Amino acid sequence: MNVWAGACLIGVDSLGMDVRVFSGAEVKTHRFPFKVLATSVVVAKKQIQQLLFPPSRRKRYARSKSRRNA
pLDDT in tens, 31-41: 999 999 999 99
What is the average per-residue pLDDT within 4-20? 93
Question: Under DSSP, is residue 45 helix (H, G, I), strand (E, B) or coil?
Answer: helix
How many independent structural domains does the chain possess?
1
| 44 has a pLDDT exceeding 90 | yes
Contact 37, 49 (CB under 8 A): no
Contact 10, 20 (CB under 8 A): yes
- Exposed e or buried b per residue across 13-22, where buried means at least 16 C-beta atoms within 10 angstroms of its C-beta: eeebbebeee
What CATH number should be reported for the domain holding residue 10?
3.20.180.10
Q: Which domain holds residue 39?
A: 5-69
